[in-house]
Structure 1
Amino acid sequence: MLTLAELLRMPQVERARPLVVAGEEGLARSVRWVHTSEIFEIGPLLQGGEVLLTTGLGLVGRRPSEIATYVSNLVDRNVTALVVEIGRTFSTLPPTLLSNSTKYGLTLIELHQIVPFVEITEATHREIISREQGTKPSQSGPNNLFLEHLASGATIRSIIELANRISGEVVSYVDSAGEVVVASAEEIPTGPPSTSTEVSINGRLRGAINIFGSKKNSHQAVGVATAQSLAVLLSRSDMPVALVRREWLLSLIASPDDPEIASDIRAKAAGLELVGNTLQPVIFSGFSINDRSPLLASLASSRVGLVIDLDDCLAVISITPRERTKERARRELLEATLNSLTTSLDISLRQRLRITAGDPVTDISSLGRNMRTARSASRINELLGNSASIRYASELGAHQLLANSVPDRTLELFVDEQIGALIDADARGSRDLVGTLEALARAGFSKTIASEALGIRRQTLHNRLGKISEVLGPTALEDSERRFSLQVALVAWRLRISAAARG
């Protein structure tokens, strides 16, 4: 096995000028594999013994407590080392990352010269695999070709296609039940293969590589190299379906336009059938750690869709037949399903739960973008304290824009300019003028709807609106441009007071 100390002495890594800043005692540990990831929630996707390369992008804006959790999760997964490139995201490491790595015993390494991560991973993977297979990197023949291919990022199909190119024959991979998983041709020759090599991992049969040559055992070396390579690949990705699904969804949210991630093949592997269906992301958030298990059980029994645990929330991909093209019909179906689900939950969980839905889509890239939007909107939904009734990300677009794009001080000045006098009037004892204006805005400035929402008589509302006009000016409730400014200010005000109440 390759040790961490040996990895740091490899030419590709030495060029990056590595510096061990914590956990030097871990240099003797073995390196099972090298991963690159900017995903903050990477911990559950690792299997132990990995070196994790990152630019630190996933740590930007994280609170000290979140970084501490990130480090402890890596230690819990028995990660060999965390390697952070200095210069692209951070000019110096976040102090909390360094202190917690020291505290938890995680080996932390800085890279002070930018070297493409792909060069480091290819070189280290080549070395790891050659040691596992007992093959020298300079050795010619099929073993070395497969070694190079594995190191540069292989898939089951690409390994079978490489075997086909080397042998010139039809090659297939069958599972332990004899069913064809991948083949190099649409039609497989009848009769037995000329060469059949078992694929096994830790003594467990995972299938066989079949090569249909003209002579028996004519391509035995290719069969052995293919089976070994496939075993290495499968052992790297041999994780529960739930984790495969989670890793794919997190990657899709981060890179929705990456054709390899946003492919139908990856979606099917995660359990999504796109043909003839419409997909809609729904985020469940706001629940406590003790609520997770009963909520997961309820979601599973309700068959509302594909459920993915993302730690800070539960994501559901609702799947409906595409012929339900009318938006109203689709909304009604989704809301009826979710209402049925929430009524079965404990009343205290229902009060805490927040449900946020994205837009319905028909392709994988759009699913990733809409899932990201829905996840962002769910945080706004939590902040606003909306009840368990479903909210749509599109309804919270202005809230997201203000929360994510406008500096706090700018928002504060804008709110003060637009409705500051009204806030002051309420502080002096007026009857909730800001709340009244907010209800009126939500009602589309319909006085009838606003009075019903507030539970007051029309005359009472009329008196309050008169007071609002006195404070803000006689045209404040009549001019369309001023109304728009007031609505934006009310959204910003609601975000501010909700954040203050939670913090």
Structure 2
Amino acid sequence: MSLSLADVLAHPSFAAGRPVVRAGADLLTQPVRWVHSSEVIDIAHLLRGGELLLTGGFALASADPAGLRRYVRELSARRVAGVAVETGPQLPQIPAELVEEATEVGLPVVELRGVVPFVEVAEAINGLLVNESVQRLRRGDAVAHALSEELARGGGPDELLEVLARLLPGDVTLLDATGDVIAALGDEMTAPAAGSGVFAVPVFVQGVGVATLLVSPDDPADHVTAEAIVERAPTALAISLLRSFPPSAAVRAAQALLRIVCQPNPAPERLVAAARAAGMVDGASYVGVVGRAVDGPVSLAAIDAALHRYAAGTVSSVAGDELHAIVVLRSDDRVGSCAALVESLRATARAELARVAVGPVVIGLLGLPGTLAEARFALDLAADLGIAGTVVDAAELALERLGRRIGDPALLTSFVLELLGPLLAVGPERARRLIDTLDVYLQCGCSKTEAAARLHVQRQTLYQRLDQIFALLGEDPTGSPRLAAVHLATRLYLGGVVDTTAL
């Protein structure tokens, strides 16, 4: 069974700790991959992501506010499931700076108000997780073995689906790239609705998605077998499809286009010819999408399926742990359509196991290499900045992308110091909190209600912070010609573009 953070906290081994969630109460459904305990504050680089970190708080008790905030940001950047802090004589309460930073970056923080034997907790929870992993491996091997035997007998898609139906009774359908049925057992299915209990995974031939496998088990509780099929069946189905249905001209054209788009400075005439062969037209709006797997290829398959559901004309390729795609925006409202794409990706099941970036909107075929390159750059930049979101919109990092490319760091540092000098003079920890408040306020169009909600503070607290900010700056910049420059300075500072130690 998969364990969410809520499941782990409800386990009897945690009862003595009387856990109370202090930050991230809306994130308790995220999965826990492992339970780990440590009193080392610089632990993040040793973690893989998905861990629930247990700490007695000894290191936190002696850390300064800046160190506490850095601790939270580093854990969030590693996609840790949460941190549970035991309070007591050494740490009477969790520091406010830690809770505040965790709330802002979306890291669940749990206070353990009683003594908990960390070793026993880790043994109990990790034992459940290991048992599930063993079950998954055994079931996956059984699926792969059964499919391999059928392939050796020359079985095609129909025969392979019969094997899957024996392993997991239910409905199984294989659709081609246009949504037509290639083979089916039981009730034929189309694209599954969210929450329908249908597992969907693309089938790739030479890196291009040519089919989608849909599995609807009679017993929804048998998710281990269903997930084993989702992980192992696509390879066998790809071999079968390659035998029965060699790659079409459209598939070969899609492969050629993505190879060209990923090259540095492709020849325009060659690019246009390849795009037209892949069914793309000049004058339409496109975005590039780059995805990277965090925990296996299934996450990329889910992202790829979501892209193809969004636009039938999507061209995509998966190589190793990276997905490249060109997506046709489906309406004249370019900004709204791109925002809808980003939201659909964020809502995709298993998307949390991948990191995805959507490039800026371009019009016409010559912009395809640029939007894909910017998506990749935004993905790298988000990792550098410790942005916790699964899906990154490159448009939201436009200033940060520009700042990283300006060749004179001293120029940017001087600019930030000129605009934000009075705020920086109050000390690094307080300055960061005030600058972050100002940035969110400006991003919200100067709406105090929305800014307070996004910062997770009371409106009165926001008013007090804004009064401090405007007093230090000497004026409210929202009513002056300095507004754009001040906002740019906040983004450069918070985006890690400038060397804050030089300020």
Q: Note whether the superposition's TM-score is higher than 0.5.
A: no
TM range (shorter): 0.3 to 0.5
Q: TM-score, normalised by structure 1?
A: 0.42
Q: Give the number of the structure whose alpha-carbon radius of gyration is greater.
A: 1
Q: TM-score, normalised by structure 2?
A: 0.42
Higher relative contact order, structure no. (Cα contacts within 8 Å, ≥ 6 residues apart): 2
